[in-house]
Amino acid sequence: MIERDRIEALTELMVELEMDLDRSDLLSGRHRRGVALWVRIVIGLVALLALSNLYFVNDLTDEVRLVITRMQEMNQLFTRVSERMDQMSVEVNAIERNVFLMPVISEQMREMASHVQVIEQSVASMAQATGRLDNSVAVINTSVHEMAVRFHGLNQRVGAMGADVDQMARPLP
């Protein structure tokens, strides 16, 4: 909504500038018409660049938000898997105590418990990696925010340039 308002404001400024340039063309000679044409072209290119920057920053922000959401969902899934692995380990230990008198089964249960511990450690490592990735995404989000602030400043400078060009394009008394 804000970008649309900015685009409309820029469009209005460009229409006003074009009207002013048309009026100055009628009053000035061929040389001024050429200068005004170049000024319009430069302003059009700068406005096009500013609009494309706004579009790409907005698109990048949406993508980063989507990545963060997916990473949080994945982290929740890993947490649930880890909790289930903990429950399995407790149950395996209980089964091991119940069948302790059977040496073959007892040995197999110990081996299963060791595998469960390895899986549990792997899941814990994945949870840590997800945490680091979440921190990296936060850094990216901060960088994107800083880029948006810079583009906002650029747009303000482009607006100021438009005002300066408008002032320069006015006929001298």
pLDDT in tens, 70-98: 988 888 888 888 888 888 888 878 777 76
**Within 10 A of 99 (CB to CB), how many other CB atoms are there?**
13
pLDDT in tens, 121-144: 888 888 888 888 788 878 888 888
pLDDT at position 137: 79
Higher-pLDDT residue of 57 and 133 is 57
pLDDT at position 99: 61
Distance (Å, whole) CA 56 – CA 3: 12
pLDDT at position 100: 64
Greatest pairwise CA separation for the chain in angstroms: 110
Q: Say if residue 153's pLDDT is above 60.
A: yes
Domain span at residue 12 reads 2-169
- CATH (domain of 107): 1.20.1270
Q: Structurally, how many domains does the chain consist of?
A: 1
Percent with pLDDT over 90 in the chain: 1
pLDDT at position 91: 84
pLDDT in tens, 40-49: 888 888 888 8
Q: What is the DSSP string of the chain?
A: -HHHHHHHHHHHHHHHHHHHHHHHHHHS-HHHHHHHHHHHHHHHHHHHHHHHHHHHHHHHHHHHHHHHHHHHHHHHHHHHHHHHHHHHHHHHHHHHHHTTT-HHHHHHHHHHHHHHHHHHHHHHHHHHHHHHHHHHHHHHHHHHHHHHHHHHHHHHHHHHHHHHHHHHHSPP-
pLDDT at position 162: 81
pLDDT at position 168: 78
